[in-house]
């Protein structure tokens, strides 16, 4: 029996809203997962995540296996005990970070050096499962091969083959009746719809608890991304969660939701916040610009977050200018709240049958 199930409560075209049930509880979908790279969403606390209504967050296997180490996290109660947060955690396999380091890859796994101290490490499909079991996330991802784009067809084909072979090994290493942890497979295939279809079919044959779609939003155009996404989603079962990895821009979120995706993660909202970029109903803007030095309005008049309710653009700009640590925290609170609110708008629109209106509104501002 699957460790997670996706329950659909409303649809609008291919888009769907509902909830995912795990042994820990439920979280609503579509959902956005803030990225807690080192077991924390940078500048935010567990209390902040609760106040924002965040139900699931992502933690990074690559960084946590190196610092403080998976055994340390396990000994302190897994991610939930270690962080003091009771919401859902999903851990990536570390594959994206590893492959960005240009490791030595063979059919068995990948060898890479730590970005912290240069020490040599090895990840295989089996060790990726073992490490994530120690971390204790509610959902873990298989180790996959994420080729850069553009890549020659033979490189993308090899990535599909290795991803399929590694998925089978991960499936064999992870107990199907694990009492607390689900395992998601990953679909690769670049921007080739035919390869995406094949990869999705081969992944579904292994009967995972859910399915990630990786290797998109890595430099390709949206016109290339969306057909590849559609080809993958068309092969994924309706009763399992569908997760588009690494997408968090407004248009990307809404367009992927329209195509039936349930889950998203991205560092974009938090990274932009730390550098002074505000996400708002009028689009993004840079708060450090001199035009905001005496602006007593909120970051976004249409936003209901606590930051917009209390602080002015002028004050937050001042905090940024003097490098006050409070600034990135407040900016991050707003950008994460804004992104979560956008996904809530999408859920509401699906229920009302008006998602096409939201897509037009978002495209008019953000495209």
Active site amino acids = 92, 265
Q: Which residues lie closer than 8 Å to 237 by C-beta, 6 or more apart?
A: 204, 211
Cβ burial 22-61 (10 Å sphere, 16+ → b, else e): bebeebbbbbbbbbbbebbbbbbebebbeebebbbbbbbb
Q: Which residue has the tokens 């090895």?
A: 122
Closest CA to 199 of 214, 190, 182, 187: 187
Instruction: Report the side by side order of strands in the sheet with 15-22.
Output: 5-12, 15-22, 25-29
């Amino acid at each position: 029996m699957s460790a997670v199930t996706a329950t659909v409560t409303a649809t609008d075209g291919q888009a769907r809203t509902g909830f995912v049930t795990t042994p820990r509880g439920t979280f609503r979908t579509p959902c956005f997962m803030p990225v807690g790279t080192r077991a924390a969403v940078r500048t935010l606390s567990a209390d902040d995540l609760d106040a924002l209504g965040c139900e699931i967050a992502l933690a990074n296997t690559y960084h946590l296996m190196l610092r403080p180490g998976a055994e340390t996290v396990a000994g302190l109660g897994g991610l939930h005990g270690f962080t003091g947060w009771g919401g859902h955690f999903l851990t990536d396999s570390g594959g994206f970070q590893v492959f960005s380091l240009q490791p030595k890859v063979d059919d068995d796994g990948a060898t890479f050096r730590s970005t912290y101290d240069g020490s040599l490490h090895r990840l295989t499909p089996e060790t990726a499962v073992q490490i994530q079991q120690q971390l204790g996330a509610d959902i873990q991802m298989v180790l996959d091969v994420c080729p850069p784009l553009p890549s020659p067809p033979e490189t993308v084909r090899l990535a599909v083959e290795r991803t399929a072979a590694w998925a089978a090994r991960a499936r064999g290493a992870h107990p199907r009746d694990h009492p607390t942890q689900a395992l998601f497979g990953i679909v690769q295939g670049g921007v080739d719809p035919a390869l995406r279809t094949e990869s999705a079919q081969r992944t579904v044959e292994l009967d995972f608890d859910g399915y990630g779609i990786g290797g998109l939003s890595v430099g390709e155009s949206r016109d290339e991304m969306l057909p590849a996404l559609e080809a993958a989603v068309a092969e994924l079962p309706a009763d399992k969660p569908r997760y588009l990895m690494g997408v968090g821009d407004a248009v990307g979120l809404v367009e992927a939701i329209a195509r039936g995706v349930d889950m998203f993660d991205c560092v974009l909202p938090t990274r932009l916040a730390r550098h002074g970029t505000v996400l708002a109903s009028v689009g993004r803007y840079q708060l450090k610009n001199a035009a905001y030095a005496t602006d007593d309005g909120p970051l976004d008049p249409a936003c209901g977050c606590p930051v917009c309710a209390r602080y002015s653009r002028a004050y937050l700009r001042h905090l940024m200018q003097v490098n006050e640590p409070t600034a990135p925290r407040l900016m991050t609170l707003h950008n994460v709240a804004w992104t979560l609110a956008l996904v809530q708008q999408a859920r509401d629109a699906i229920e009302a049958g008006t998602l096409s209106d939201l897509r037009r509104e978002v495209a008019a501002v953000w495209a």
